């Protein structure tokens, strides 16, 4: 499924999600983000039929971050078990970018404007590490993410940060 073609959640829906309990809010966001379909078999799901799956299983180092959670039908979730999908890195990058776009992954780094962060994130092309933080990297920057927050951005190269 191509997540990039799904519509962005409108501001009213997002405000409703924010007022819900955190666990239900996350499931509701992912349910809409993933087009109400199972990531694996593309079956259309009612909300109560949907389960959240760690795309990179927690047992293999996956996190609870929004970019590692996908919508799954119960059957596919059970079949996947703790296997690692071959495209996990690509999917995590795509979902990370969508999370930034939708405002569910935040950054409170005063040295970067939100436009600069958007630009940096669009150039992310790999997952560098998954440990206490998930580290996304592009050509010029490395972003450290924990609990759906960008907690650090490092410029790679010899010139200090001036603009993106």
Read off the pLDDT of residues 4-61 as tens digits, 9 standing for 90 and up: 444 444 555 544 444 444 556 899 999 999 999 999 999 999 999 999 999 999 999 9
Q: What share of the chain is helix, strand, coil (3-state, %, to 5)?
A: 40, 25, 35
Largest CA distance in the chain: 52
- pTM for the model: 0.81
For residue 3, what pLDDT band results from cuts at 50, 70 and 90? very low
- The string of pLDDT tens digits covering residues 95-151 is 999 999 999 999 978 889 989 999 999 999 999 989 889 999 999 999 999 999 999
Domain ranges (residues) in the chain: 3-80, 100-155
Q: What is the pLDDT of residue 164?
A: 45
CA 98 to centroid of chain Cα atoms? 6
Return the number of other C-beta atoms located less than 10 Å from residue 63's C-beta: 21
Give the CATH number of domain 3-80. 3.40.1800
Cα→Cα distances 113→56, 81, 104, 128, Å: 31, 40, 17, 24
Average pLDDT over residues 77-87: 93
């Amino acid at each position: 499924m191509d997540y990039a073609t799904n519509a962005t959640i409108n501001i009213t829906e997002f405000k409703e999600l924010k007022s819900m309990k955190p666990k239900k809010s996350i499931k509701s966001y992912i349910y809409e983000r993933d087009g109400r379909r199972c990531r694996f078999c593309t079956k259309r799901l009612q909300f109560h039929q949907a389960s959240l799956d760690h795309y990179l299983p927690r047992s293999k180092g996956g996190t609870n971050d929004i970019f590692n959670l996908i919508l799954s039908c119960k059957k596919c979730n059970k079949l996947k078990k703790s296997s690692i999908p071959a495209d996990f890195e690509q999917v995590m990058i795509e979902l990370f970018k969508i999370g930034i776009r939708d405002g569910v992954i935040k950054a409170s780094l005063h040295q970067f404007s939100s436009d600069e962060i958007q630009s940096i994130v669009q150039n992310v092309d790999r997952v560098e590490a998954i440990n206490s933080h998930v580290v996304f990297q592009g050509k010029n920057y490395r972003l450290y993410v924990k609990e759906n927050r960008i907690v650090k951005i490092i410029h790679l190269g010899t010139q200090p940060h001036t603009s993106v």
